[in-house]
Amino acid sequence: MKIACSISGDTPESTIDSRFGRAPRFLIVDTDSGEYRLIENTQNLNAAQGAGLQSAQNVINAGAEAVITGHTGPKAFDLLSSMNVKIYYAESVTAKESIQMYKNGTLKAAQSADVESHW
Amino acid sequence: MVIAIASGKGGTGKTAVATALALSAGQPVTLLDCDVEGANDALFFNTGICLTHEVTVPVPSIDPAKCVGCGSCHSICAFNAIVVIGKTARVYKELCHSCGGCRRVCAYGAISETASPIGQITKRHSGNVTLLSGELTVGKAMSPPVIREVKKYPRDKGITIIDSPPGTSCPMINAVRKSDFVLLVTEPTPFGLHDLVLAVRAIRMLRIQFGVIINRCDSGDDRVENFCSTEQIEVVMRIQEKREIAESISRGRTILDAGSEYRPLFAALLKKMIARFGMEE
């Protein structure tokens, strides 16, 4: 299964970026093979609105079935949920550590957005 | 002739001036309340609504049978209002600015436009004045389409007075543009001056003639007067701070009812404007 981690760096050692909509990139990790790739999300950094939706589109089209990020807003959360993409919140850990936490079952799937629009 | 009342700072007395000016005319006037996020000119009109008109904006709707998920609508959308997942585009109409770009670029004819309500226009009559009030529905984000609709709504030729929203961005610009003259209402306080400076810059960019009304002119300091004289801006009226005016307005009456000296003051200002710009639009 593929998991998208929001990061501002460009390696699995990069810390999870607390923003979903305006994360500079996503690390797409295949938990079965351990392979990973980066997708750029920079077009959203300066978007006036709708950044979360575009990020959601990017990770869904990259085949992600789960997202690990710091926070999500209402529109991104609804779009991801409607496509059965699970959302996990993590902070102050690297992408690699967060994947391990996911595998250990220490991350709990979020039931709702945790920040307002334009957070 | 179209006269717009604007300010920059809120609470300087735009509505007080607009209503007094309209009711002082002694001839038919259309008053457009373009402060659509807080339209309250109607509070001064003790008459019921005689007509309500719904304001809508066009938003795209996608025919999933025709959409192939090519993404061209998504690419052209400057407002991130469309996401494309797999073979279908989805519209988030609350982000849409109704530019129509998506419909134009869709090569599959999958996009049509549907009307999405965002507010209403109400019409009232009182004496010589017809009031058209724009009201943005609470929860809707964009006021300019409602403001433009109020200005486009059929009205009698002759004198039109526009009560603009405060500020200097899109809502205010949409309210005042294409008017013959802008009356900037301010007060002699640091806040009044600060926002007057911004408003003057905005109106100069629009190349519209303007003058200043200093409300509560005997309070505060003389920096607004100094600014106007340095910038060679015409101060067309000074209104003193009077208990009678506050009392009149608190009872839902206009400045005109605060004392017999006010009606000639506003009537003279309007007459001067008519002399300068004529009656026709």
Q: What is the pLDDT of residue B281?
A: 66
Q: Would you say residue B194 lies in a domain?
A: yes
pLDDT above 70 as % of chain B: 100
B62 and B163: one domain?
no
CATH topology for the A2-104 domain:
Nucleotidyltransferase; domain 5 (3.30.420)
Average pLDDT per consecutive 10 residues, chain A (119 residues; last block may be shorter): 96 95 96 94 84 95 96 95 96 96 93 82
Nearest CB partner across the interface for A57, out of B79, B83, B95: B83
Could A56 and B83 be called an inter-chain contact, meaning their C-beta atoms sit closer than 8 Å? yes
* Residue B80 to residue A75, Cβ atoms within 8 A: no
Question: What Å distances lie between residue B5 and B15, B61, B153, B200, CA to CA?
Answer: 8, 38, 19, 13
Name the residue ranges covered by the structural domains of chain A: 2-104
Chain B positions touching A48 (Cβ under 8 A) are 79
Q: Is B99 in the A-facing interface, judged by CB distances under 8 Å?
A: no
Q: For residue A97, give how far its alpha carbon lies from the nearest alpha carbon of chain B (Å).
A: 29
Question: Alpha-carbon torsion B182, B187, B189, B191, what sign?
Answer: negative
Do residues B107 and B188 share a domain? no
Query: Is B186 among the domain residues?
Result: yes
Strand A25-30 versus strand A36-40 pairing type: antiparallel
Indicate the residue type of B65.
A
Residue B280 has pLDDT above 80, yes or no: no
Task: Copy the structure tokens of residue B123.
Answer: 């019409």
pTM summary value: 0.83
Q: What is the dihedral of CA A35, A40, A45, A47, to 10 degrees?
A: -120
What integer pLDDT is reported at residue A81 of this predicted model? Answer: 95
pLDDT tens sequence across B108-137: 999 999 999 999 999 999 989 999 999 999
- Residue B74 and residue B14 in one domain: no
Instruction: Judge: B81–A54 Cβ closer than 8 Å, yes or no.
Output: no
Instruction: Kindly report the average pLDDT of chain B as a whole number.
Output: 95
For residues B184-197, average pLDDT: 97
CATH of the domain at B190: 3.40.50.300
How confident is the model over B27-48, as pLDDT tens digits?
Answer: 999 999 999 999 999 999 988 8
Domain range for B65: 57-117
Question: Which residues does chain A have within 8 Å of residue B84's beta carbon, measured at their own beta carbons?
Answer: 57, 61
Domain-embedded: residue B181 = yes
| Predicted complex: ipTM over 0.90 | no
pLDDT at residue A47, as a whole number? 84
Which of B87, B117, B147 delimits the end of a domain?
A: B117
CB contact under 8 A, A53 and B84: no
Q: Once rounded to an integer, what is the mean pLDDT over residues B212-218?
A: 97
Instruction: Give the CATH number of the domain where residue B78 resides.
Output: 3.30.70.20
User: DSSP per residue over chain B, as a string?
Assistant: -EEEEE-SSTTSSHHHHHHHHHHTSSS-EEEEE--TTS--GGGG--S---EEEEEEEEEEEE-TTT-----HHHHH-TT--EEEETTEEEE-GGG-----HHHHH-TT--EEEEEEEEEEEEEEEETTEEEEEEEEPTT----HHHHHHHHHS---SSEEEEE--SSSSHHHHHHHTT-SEEEEEE-SSHHHHHHHHHHHHHHHHHT-EEEEEEETTTSS-SHHHHHHHHTT--EEEEE---HHHHHHHHTT--GGGG-TTHHHHHHHHHHHHHHHH-S--
For A10-23, write each residue's pLDDT tens digit.
999 999 999 999 99
From chain B, the residues in CB contact with A61 under 8 A are 84-86
Same domain, B20 and B65: no
A53–chain B Cβ distance below 8 A for any pair: yes
Quick one: pLDDT at residue A3?
97
